[in-house]
A and B are shown apart, each in its own frame.
Chain A
Amino acid sequence: MVALSGFRLAMTNGVQLHVHSAFSFLDGASLPEELVQAATAKDIGTMALTDSHRLSGIVTFLKAAQASGLKAIAGATVKLPGEGQLVLLVPDTAHLPQLTRLLTHAHLDHPRGSPQVEWEMLRRWGPGLVALSGGRRGVLDRLIYAGQHAAALDRAQKLQGIFGPDFYLEVGAGWLPGDRSIRAALKSLGQHLGLSLIASSEVRHAEREDFPVYDLMVAIRHGLRVEEPHPDRPLNRELYLKDRDSMRRALGDLGPEALKTADRLAEKLTTPEILGHSRVPRLDPNPETAWQRLQQLVWEGARRRYREHWKAVRPRIGHELGIIRDLGFVDYFLVVEDVARFARQAGIRFAGRGSAADSAVAYCLGITEVDAVARELLFERFLSRERAETPDIDIDFDARRRDEVAQYVIERYGRERVAAVATYQTFRARLAIRQIGRVMGFPARELDVLAKSLPPLSLEDMVQHFDDIPELRVLGLTPASRQILAWAAKVEGRPRHIGTHLGGLVISGDPLELVTPLERSAKGVEICQFDKRDVEALGLLKLDLLSLRTFTAVDMAVRSITETTPAFRYEDIPQEDPAVYRRLQEADSIGVFQLESPAQRALARRLQPDRYEDIVASLALIRPGPIKGNMVTPFVDRRRGREPVEYLHPDLEPILHKTYGVVLFQEQVIAIASALAGFTPGEADQLRRVMTHARSPKEMERLGQQFQLKATARGIAPEVSAAVFAQMVGYASYGFNEAHAAAFADTAYRTTYLLEHYPGPYYTGLLNAQPMGFYPVDLLVTEARRRGINIAPLDINTSGAEYRWIPKRQAIQTGLQAVSGLGADNACQLLAARQEKPFQHPGDVLRRTPLHRDQVALLVRVGAFDAVDPDRERWLESLLGENPLGLVPSQPGVPWTIWQRLFWEYRILGFGQTAQALHPWRETLRNQGFITCQEALAAPPGSVVRVAGVPVRPHRPPTRSGRLMVFYTLLDETGVLDASLDEAGYRRVGHWLFSGDRPGILACSGRMERSTMTTSGMTAWPPRV
């Protein structure tokens, strides 16, 4: 590749050293790979990526450049406060840390979102870097344009003092007003100081026609309407990647000299070599000691996990350890073990997920809870010599305590070596619509309706199939709205700003600022400038410490349970409890981890799970792939004995017996390739990965020939190997990782057990852990009521901060934090004040706590003072009316109707403490011929029913036939009814479910089939005029 890039450089004559990509966030339109592609097409041999205060695009840039033979230079554009911008280029790998340090200080030493570089910082980290004067927004051009030539001379001298001959005067080829006079001034400045002029196009977009996208982004950045001018908004379309001829034309008589300087500098600069070097921290400076420590921990764990059978697992563990050592991941495993140990000792609930559960070593180290040996899971799905990639170990922690774990990591490995992983937040459809619409001058309220009506398609698809999408069609969009969609489609998917990865932390062996600039997230956390994929390319160790609210719910439930049953231990929940499976068979699993969705409950009705493996399979089956691949019905039929279990070859039986001959898991493909075609496990995993990602029939054919050749050589009949390969191909795009399914199945089983045997504490935990799961609070409360649990209303003198389980009353009492707009701090202050004496009056709360009047009014409206006096009207009068001090007794008010109560309860708490929203309407609904959800469920199959309810979670998942199908749930005071709507129905009435102003209650009719309603009619209730 080096020789190739040298060849291209010699043969090409284009150089661009000041180039912004979309990673300049709203100050550049094109992706790095688009710029590289354009550079190649325009015969540009050397290009620098110089995004504003960041290197986020550099990994993609380096990879794309390497693939196309372009010489890639790293750099950044920085802003000097009050002066203008400056381009800094990295001459070689050794000088990269200077730029990363400079950028880190530019971010961390200034308010978030306003990075800048003071002269002092330039003096400290600048020497050794190459500086360009920054073009039209640069330090010098701005002064010259303003006629301040003496000041320009002064700044040029200062910069020359810092960078010496490595400071260049950038002459732009942007065809902007004033270019000619600025160029003339720069020429004389250069002659006066002995500085070289260098050609630049100050690129902001790859092609000239990309200008509108760039212009829209700039308008968004400055909050401008499209017709509003701004000094930072270029007047023309000329800041694109120009070829040599276009540069020459734009630069006039300075062209030859300035272009030659660019060529000379391009030859001098080298591509930084930063990809693929391991930067994993070492817990012990001596690798041999670390290796011994890992072995010791693993074998201790093996004895603990496998007890007297531990010797039987020795070969497997030895095999895994050998690969871990050979690939250099000893320290990585020690770090993860260390973090897991901390969590265990601190009593923080956690579980490893993903392919890490394919590892017996991870199981022995206490990182995962899945016994990879007992399940015969393949380690090579997780880690193999052939793949040699950093393994991904994801761990779920109790959401409330995940930050404690992150804090431990920071303290243990050093603040300078740990940072959060970034995410590149891109323009999603809704955001693009809102922001582009604002630029076009449309009101936020209208844009909100449009944005909320968008189906889950790309904007490009929406533009093309506009008239087929009912939720857009019913809006009756004007040409202007269509224009918004069309422009929004142009920015969709482009990076907009940097965010923080939900759980990812990087831990580096070297101080991080040598590898990546750091900045501060909205929450004040230090983040690196790279996302998880780029972090891996940079050789940094990434730990995914994820927050799982289910563990929060479990933890709270367990605390409630042990108050009355001290001997209860979540870890000792009995396996294979028949009551757990009965609950799943009845599809009565709302609240269960991963098994509560309508699709999972529908599967459970068909599958009738009665063993743990059924749960594991269920988790793998309800995924887009198996549904599209038509695997669900064959699996269920075989499992239920309605279809014979057959194997194409006897060697497949041991691999596929647990899934009844159906290829369901990724691990099974690896095992098949090994057993039939003699692939090593690592090779087989590579085959699986290629099969999973290969889309072209040609590529698949090539793989098939390879597989069949090897299988035939091992004596497998060609027709058998062809059939087996076809089965694997059918699987290819949707296989699921068995280890991950098994890890989730454990939590799914245990949470079903809690729901079955301890519904009160478990629902209490679920309510406290919101937002989480598939369903809203209203539905969970209704489900709790259906199980005979009472809802004790919020009480100013007895409620806690959180929802609380009261065993004696078999009731969940609403907690203060459930009040929207109150906040956790205020709830705590209120509880502290209440310890002195109970509250007698809303004014009492005002006097004794920092709550303001509106917040106390919220408490009154949801009945928090009802136990003192249920006259809410009088309380509100005393609080907000003519006697706000509460010194004069108010007149008794009119008691609130149930509708008034529900209005405020739903608005403030999100559910009805008094009753579910449909309850007071039941008589009216009966008179109109509507039955309840439970009555519909009890109706014989084929019955036509009319049900009114609150629509919940309408969605359009992929289907086997590829046809569009909508699923939704109706909720009333008796429970839920799952329903479906076919494509024709969706086109007719889909807007009631998906439009931005969806009605609160829908009246639906349809036919009952398998406990689900197939919808035939739908409208708002009460009907809209």
Chain B
Amino acid sequence: MRWEVIQVEPGEGIPRRFRWRRRWYPISGIQEIWQDAGEWWAGESPRWFFRVTVNGGLFELAMDPLSRQWWLYRVFD
């Protein structure tokens, strides 16, 4: 789990491309979307997760819907 803050260009409710290590990655497909409740007892808000394919690579992105903050959550090598 990386939790690296990234920049994302959203499409219609789903991400279209994201910028990581000074490079934009266009998203070619979304394999899964799920929600995680987070540590609600500690005041954390729920987050949405997207498992996306990018030019042969597989990534998981996370988003806080309240702050619109995006993270790169996981990179599948």
Contacts and interface: CB of A to CB of B under 8 A. Distances in A.
A180 interface: yes
A237 interface: yes
A211 interface: yes
A164 B10 CA distance: 45
Contacts of A179: 32-34
Contact of B35 (A212, A238, A440): A238
A235 B32 contact: no
B49 interface: yes
Interface stretch (B1-9, B18-26, B39-47): B39-47
A181 B32 contact: yes
Contacts of A226: 41
A765 to B, nearest CB: 53
Given A236-B46, A237-B46, A212 B32 contact: no
Given A177-B49, A181-B31, A235 B36 contact: yes
A176 interface: yes
Contact of B33 (A180, A211, A212, A234): A180
A227 B35 CA distance: 17
A176 B33 CA distance: 8
A227 to B, nearest CB: 7
User: Taking chain B's interface residues, is the majority helix, strand, or loop, or is none over half, making it mixed?
Assistant: strand
Contacts, number: 41
Contact of A235 (B31, B33, B35, B41): B35
Interface in B17-75: 31-37, 39-41, 46, 49
A236 B40 contact: no
Nearest to B34: A177
A215 interface: yes
Contacts of B49: 177
A212 B36 contact: no
Contacts of B34: 175-179, 235-236
A211 B40 CA distance: 9
Contact of B37 (A178, A180, A181, A211): A211
Interface in A604-657: none
B41 to A, nearest CB: 5
Interface residues of B, number: 12
Interface in A146-179: 175-179
A175 B40 contact: no
A236 B37 contact: yes
Contacts of B35: 175, 235-238
Nearest to A483: B41
A175 B32 CA distance: 9
Nearest to B36: A235
A227 B42 CA distance: 10
B28 to A, nearest CB: 15
Contacts of A176: 34
A231 to B, nearest CB: 15
Interface residues of A, number: 18
Contacts of B39: 227
B65 to A, nearest CB: 12
A181 B34 CA distance: 12
A427 B40 CA distance: 22
A200 B47 CA distance: 22
A176 B51 CA distance: 12
Interface string A655-666: 000000000000
Nearest to A233: B37
B33 A175 contact: yes
A440 B39 CA distance: 12
Nearest to B31: A180
A175 B46 CA distance: 12
Contacts of B36: 235-236
A238 B39 CA distance: 15
A235 B46 CA distance: 10
Contacts of A180: 31-33
Contacts of B40: 211-212, 215
Interface in A230-247: 234-238
A212 B46 CA distance: 12
Interface string A202-245: 00000000011001000000000011000000111110000000
Contact of B32 (A178, A211, A227): A178
Contacts of A215: 37, 40
Contacts of A237: 35, 37, 46
B32 to A, nearest CB: 5
B27 to A, nearest CB: 15
A299 to B, nearest CB: 69
Nearest to A252: B33
Contacts of A178: 32, 34
A212 B41 contact: yes
B59 to A, nearest CB: 15
A175 to B, nearest CB: 4
Contacts of A440: 41
A452 B19 CA distance: 57
Interface in A421-448: 440
A179 B36 CA distance: 13
Nearest to A180: B32
B22 to A, nearest CB: 30
B37 A177 contact: no
A190 B49 CA distance: 28
Counting chain A CB atoms within 10 Å of each CB, the highest count among B33, B34, B36 belongs to: B34
Given A211-B40, A215-B40, A227-B39, A177 B46 contact: no
A180 B14 CA distance: 15
A226 B42 CA distance: 10
Nearest to B30: A180
B53 to A, nearest CB: 13
A440 B46 CA distance: 20
A122 to B, nearest CB: 31
Nearest to B41: A226
A176 B37 CA distance: 11
B41 A177 contact: no
Nearest to A211: B37
Counting chain B CB atoms within 10 Å of each CB, the highest count among A178, A179, A236, A238 belongs to: A236
B42 to A, nearest CB: 9
A238 B31 CA distance: 19
Contacts of A175: 33-35
A345 B64 CA distance: 75
Counting chain A CB atoms within 10 Å of each CB, the highest count among B31, B35, B49 belongs to: B35
Contacts of B46: 236-237
A439 to B, nearest CB: 9
Nearest to B49: A177
A234 to B, nearest CB: 8
A179 B31 CA distance: 10
Contacts of B31: 180-181
A234 B46 CA distance: 13
A435 to B, nearest CB: 15
Nearest to A238: B35
Interface in A172-198: 175-181
A234 B34 CA distance: 11
Interface string A662-678: 00000000000000000
B63 to A, nearest CB: 13
Nearest to A227: B39
A338 to B, nearest CB: 57
B24 to A, nearest CB: 25
A177 B60 CA distance: 12
Interface of A: 175-181, 211-212, 215, 226-227, 234-238, 440
18 contacts: A175-B33, A176-B34, A177-B32, A177-B34, A177-B49, A178-B32, A178-B34, A179-B33, A180-B33, A181-B32, A211-B37, A211-B40, A215-B37, A215-B40, A235-B34, A236-B34, A236-B35, A237-B35
Nearest 9 pairs of A and B residues by beta carbon: A236-B35, A177-B34, A175-B35, A226-B41, A180-B32, A236-B37, A235-B36, A237-B37, A175-B34
Interface of B: 31-37, 39-41, 46, 49
Given A236-B34, A236-B37, A237-B46, 12 more contacts: A175-B33, A175-B34, A177-B32, A179-B33, A211-B37, A211-B40, A234-B37, A235-B34, A236-B46, A237-B35, A237-B37, A440-B41
